[in-house]
A = this chain, B = another copy of it.
Amino acid sequence: MIGIFDSGVGGLTVVKEIQKRLPGYQIIYFGDTARLPYGTKGAGFVQKYSSKIVNWLLDNGAKIIIIACHTSSAWASENLKRHFKNAPIFEMIAPAIKEALKRTKNKKIGIIGTPGTVKSQAYERGLLSIDSGLEVYPVACPLFVPLVEEGWISKKITKEIAEEYLKPLKKKKIDTLVLACTHYPLLKKTIRRVLGPEVKIINPAESLAEELSIYLAAHPETALQIKKGNDHRFFFSDAPYNLKKISQICFNQEIVVRIEDPF
């Protein structure tokens, strides 16, 4: 199975892109709803629980790990790669950075994410280490996650909040924006309406799914090990708020989940 984890339901947007790109690979998903959000928590906390979750996913049949959570990608991915050498571990940031570099023309890139992801500076460091001539503008948008979880995807208020958060990015005339949180792709239409059609919006889940498919094509022995099937398994450490709405928005249908906190 492909093991995917996030702090909550947001990672379902990553499941969606992986299903699209790699249909037939069985997925095991863990959403740490009991301890969400990760985006406003400290690095040590995120590292501790990310590690527990990877352990649990491997124990439950995952042969490959996707860190769907950007905060966890930022704070914990190096740690996880060092500790778990037997399974390939993918995170969200590197593929998104590659894509942003490919797409930008004026070299002005906006990053929107949770306070934790922004504080980690993982995107700036990654982007500037490849091209020091870039201008990178990170903005924390802490209200976006609760807006999505409330199902307020395309309300007038949502657009107004987006306008407030994106104002500095419009002013800086970015031509590329990275949606550095798994919830944000669900607000893509609203964000596009605020920024205008000329700004390229990057959904890291798509970049990750592409990277994963390239990896599996190059590593058929790993691809063979991964269980096939469409009976994906969704685990949450606590009952997710508004799951019905979110899974409708992501998959046009409800999903069957199991609630258990193994930690």
Contact = CB atoms under 8 A, between A and B. Distances in A.
Interface stretch (A33-41, A74-82, A120-128, A181-189): A33-41
A147 interface: yes
Copies in the complex: 2
A150 interface: yes
A232 B139 CA distance: 35
Interface in A39-90: 40-42, 45
Contacts of A130: none
Given A34-B35, A160-B160, A241-B115, A143 B146 contact: yes
Given A34-B35, A45-B34, A238-B45, A147 B143 contact: yes
A241 B155 CA distance: 26
Contact of A143 (B34, B143, B160, B239): B143
Nearest to A145: B146
Interface residues on A, range: 20 to 34
A6 B45 CA distance: 19
Nearest to A43: B239
Nearest to A240: B40
A146 B142 contact: yes
Given A34-B45, A143-B146, A145-B146, 19 more contacts: A34-B35, A34-B41, A35-B35, A40-B149, A40-B241, A41-B238, A41-B239, A42-B239, A45-B238, A45-B261, A142-B146, A142-B241, A143-B143, A155-B164, A156-B160, A157-B157, A157-B161, A157-B164, A160-B160
29 contacts: A33-B41, A34-B35, A34-B41, A34-B45, A35-B35, A40-B149, A40-B241, A41-B238, A41-B239, A42-B238, A42-B239, A42-B259, A45-B238, A45-B261, A142-B146, A142-B149, A142-B150, A142-B241, A143-B143, A143-B146, A143-B147, A143-B150, A145-B146, A155-B164, A156-B160, A157-B157, A157-B160, A157-B161, A160-B160
